[in-house]
Amino acid sequence: MVEDEHDIQAFLQQALSEAGYTVDLAPDGKAAENLAKNNKYDILIVDLGLPDQDGITLITRLRQLGVVAPVLILSARRSVDDRVRGLEQGGDDYLTKPFALAELLARLRNLLKRNAPQGSELTRLRVQDLELDLLRREATRSGQTLQLTPQEFVLLEYLCRNAGRVVTRSMILDKVWGMRIQPDTNVVDVHIYRLRGKVDGTGQAPLIRTLRGVGYVLQDR
Amino acid sequence: MSSRTGRSPVRSAAWRISLWATLAFMCGTIVVFIFVDRFVANDIQRRTDAWLSGEVEVLGDVAERTPNDSLYNRVVGEVAELASREVPEKSTSPEFQNDSVFFIQTSRNGALKLWVGAGDGQSHLQAIQAHEIDSATPISINVRGYSTPFRVASEPMNDGGRVYLGLSERDQRRVILNLRVRFFVLWLSLVLLGFAIVFFTSRRTLSHVRNITEAASHIGESDLKMRVPISSRNDEISQLGHTLNRMLDRIENSVHQLHTITDSLAHDLRSPLTAIRGKLETSLSSRDVEQAEPIVSAIEELDRLTDFLNKSLDVAEAKADALRLNPTTIDLDGLLRSIIDLYEPSLNDRGIRIRLHSAAPVYIVADEGLIHRMIANLFDNELKHLPASCSVDVHLQELDGEARLTLRDNGPGFDPEVRGHLFTKSVKGKHSSGHGLGLAFVDAVVRAHAGTVRAENTDAGGACIILSLPLAVRESKRMQPTHAG
């Protein structure tokens, strides 16, 4: 992790360690280069505004040094630079500050998954007694078919794929509706309430849990 | 924007310039010619008169001195004949017959004594007698049977008679006519040539101006790094180009400055926000629900603050026409469908119905992120302000090369207090809950994409927002030649 702000370093290191990652910290580009030369990392988190050089320059240099690990770019800038977009197309990802920890973790998982050997594409998802048939676009809970709209199915599928992990509202907007927006109304919540109404029927243990201020979790146990 | 280049040359500035220049040239040369014409005519007249006066004196003298015998008529007649051969401005036609000069000698009682010239001289004599010439200064006399008048000078004789010498003005007039015809032909060709030269030079010059205009209109639409083309000559046009480019340098500089300021402002605010949010979130995971409540609402406040910060900076940049765009081709129809899909449950929960009227994909070239946020803003607005059991009609259509998006509801409409300045920053109705940036942001994004947005109350009282954005240019259109020459 290459980040110069001390406060951000601290909480990121704590959160990443709690999530099970081993983290090496570099406060600037020079230190990052030295670390990358001597160690092999699965993933890099790079802040764009470093004291000694530009984050993009650092990434380019690291790539020249033979570092192939995917990069998650953290940016406090307002607009997403064209060069960042270029990197994004190369398999890396970016996140603008401030971000939700859940989103950071989700993006890290995605980047790692992208680099991992691809398993055969799943056709069925199963979380507790909830089952999704991805080919027939059908969901059942305890054997009972749920009447879902196509959009609700996509939403539920996304929650199932991230079962047990927190997904934020902006992640849902990005992945389910394909929009990076921040509505100042509770549009996503309404979708979740409706979905919950269908998934968590009366007398059943609730599957979809709301973490206020953070997002939602589909509980996997 | 390239449509105006194909217009007819008759409506161009070059045409007008050439027309006026030619008109001025025509008038000027005509005035000069009238002076020259008058001068030449007077000069010819003067020379003719001088010749006439001189000759009539000589002839009078000859007639006086010649003895009055049988040879008299022949001697005087021959002298007169000889004199007539020296006529000024004589016609050079081969069938020269001397009807342009006559000589008359009258006796004391006015009877014809000697006649030299064509015909019998009676009509000449009658004309002369009708005028009673008595001085050597020549005057013009019309003779029956001749279309052009004669210039006649006379001299008294000692015997009481007179000698008259007349010269037809025909040759003199022919000279003038010749002059006029030649002038006219020359003048016409000069005028036409002048017109052509002025037209083509001004058209060439103005085509540089047009190129600059064309280029300048694209700058700012796309990016500020472009510059207008400069012609190699160091004339006014290239100076205009240089001036424009220097101006663009300054604009680019200030826009860059603005970006630097907003960026560093954003950076300086976001870094602590990130740290605070992160700390709050990590402390959240280790607490039970009771203690979590204040932390959660703090996080929510923080997110609202971040959103406000983003929008304010966007609006600030857009107000300075400095919004950074990353344009791609977007289908507004598809976008509206997925946004309505997103908002419909929330709207329905509040008892608001929404209908989309759009038949086909409508493509625009725009910054996807900004357009998403802008349209989400419009729907957030409806969701926040519309009372229950109202409905929203969303129309999307292509109109005059523009994508026209209309949001019409049957709610209470815009507050009359804020209607005039809906799109200005931090304006909101009395009962509004937002931070008042919504419509300012919409206006900012639309303006950055060279579009327009209007807000009005419908006749039925509802609010209506009409948004126009330029359509994406189709490939076939782009292939057409932009302009000729």
How far is B239 from B222, CA to CA, in rounded Å? Answer: 24
Same domain, A159 and A202: yes
Q: What is the pLDDT of residue B285?
A: 67
Give the end of a domain, one of A94, A115, A136.
A115
Same domain, A93 and A167: no
pLDDT digits (tens, 9 = 90+) for A86-109: 666 566 888 888 888 888 888 888
Q: What is the pLDDT of residue B259?
A: 80
The amino acid at B139: I
Using the Cβ of B324 and the Cβ atoms of chain A, whether some distance falls under 8 Å is answered with: yes
Query: What are the start-end ranges of the H helices in B219-351?
Result: 236-285, 289-319, 332-349
Nearest beta carbon to residue B266 from set A12, A78, A151: A78
What is the domain-level CATH number for residue A12?
3.40.50.2300
Q: What is the pLDDT of residue B393?
A: 93
Same domain, A137 and A171: yes
How far is B435 from B425, CA to CA, in rounded Å? Answer: 9
How far is B318 from B327, CA to CA, in rounded Å? Answer: 15
Give the end of a domain, one of A61, A81, A115.
A115
Q: Which fold has domain B13-89+97-176?
A: Beta-Lactamase (3.30.450)
Using the Cβ of B342 and the Cβ atoms of chain A, whether some distance falls under 8 Å is answered with: yes
Residue from B296, B307, B342, B384 to probe the interface with A (highest A Cβ count within 10 Å): B342
Same domain, A146 and A101: no
| Structure tokens, B307 | 């959103």
Same domain, A133 and A92: no
Give the end of a domain, one of A115, A142, A164.
A115
Shortest CA distance from A81: residue in chain B: B326
Q: Identify whether A12 is part of a domain.
A: yes
What is the domain-level CATH number for residue A161?
1.10.10.10
Number of domains in chain A: 2
Q: Which fold has domain B327-478?
A: Heat Shock Protein 90 (3.30.565)
Mean pLDDT of chain B: 81
Lowest mean pLDDT among B270-279, B318-327, B346-355, B448-457: B318-327
Is pLDDT above 60 for B305? yes
Q: Identify whether A70 is part of a domain.
A: yes
Same domain, A101 and A190: no
For residue A83, what are the domain limits? 6-115
Same domain, A104 and A153: no
Same domain, A98 and A178: no
How far is the alpha carbon of A11 from chain B, nearest alpha carbon, in Å? 6
Whether residues B262 and A15 touch (CB distance < 8 A) is answered with: no
Average pLDDT of the segment spanning B312-337: 83
Q: Identify whether A1 is part of a domain.
A: no
HEC profile for B151-199? EEEEEECCCCCEEEEEEECHHHHHHHHHHHHHHHHHHHHHHHHHHHHHH
Same domain, A209 and A145: yes
Identify the helix (H) or strand (E) that includes residue B460.
Answer: none
Q: What is the pLDDT of residue B375?
A: 92
Q: What angle do CA B372, B375, B378 make, to 5 degrees?
A: 150
Average pLDDT of the segment spanning B416-444: 65
How far is B378 from B439, CA to CA, in rounded Å? Answer: 8
Q: What is the pLDDT of residue B477?
A: 42
Q: Is the ipTM of this complex over 0.85?
A: no
Strand partners, B141: B150
Shortest CA distance from A188: residue in chain B: B342
Share of residues in chain B with pLDDT > 90 (%): 15
Same domain, A107 and A157: no
Is pLDDT above 70 for A155? yes
Same domain, A182 and A139: yes
Same domain, A24 and A86: yes
Shortest CA distance from A184: residue in chain B: B380
Average pLDDT of the segment spanning A9-27: 89
